[in-house]
Structure 1
Amino acid sequence: MPARDALSVVFAALADPTRRAILTHLQQGPSTAGDVAAPFAMSRSAISQHLKVLEDAGLIERTVTAQWRTCVLRTEPLDEVATWVDSHRRLWDERFDLLDERLRQLRERQGEAP
């Protein structure tokens, strides 16, 4: 399997609704793995797998202190996603503006009101 770039790994992690819900929970602050798992009707093993995917994507950091495993949100990968989306949004907006202008010109040629 070819190596995937960091942006692809983040998008793949964000593709799952459970993982997005975990990130939303972690916006409130650091949580233990048990607190993260509490609202979900799935095994701790399944939650652990989701946490592993998020950690591999750099979206969370897990620390172990004595018997406590704490999860902390990391926003840097989300900043990279936002930068990528913004750059593409500008391109898409420009193309839609050009399309709007072209449609306006076609309507004017056909005698339609704008």
Structure 2
Amino acid sequence: MDSQHASSGEHPKIIGTSSETTEHKLQTVLEAVGKTVAAIEYGEVESRGGTHAAEAVVLHFTDGTALSIEIGSNARDLSAARDLTPPDVHTDLMPFWTHRARPHD
């Protein structure tokens, strides 16, 4: 999604959870429903030994819990098959505000 999509109100279309892994991730983030956000951290994350550059967001809730959303990729797998290294890859989060109906409303 680019800034043109965001300004037009377009948002990513969620097509479901296609595997046990994505279902587990969904259940993890659903634990945030009903919680109150107290603080937010956002920015570049410290490199973890030969990994790609990335960003993350951490949502801190009033009950003392926190949910971090980080980037995962297959950069290491790609580097084995191509002439690049994981640090050659850069990923980022792209936050957008839109008016969007809640799921199942």
What TM-score results when the alignment is normalised by the length of structure 1? 0.22
What TM-score results when the alignment is normalised by the length of structure 2? 0.24
**Larger relative strand fraction:** 2
**Larger relative helix fraction:** 1
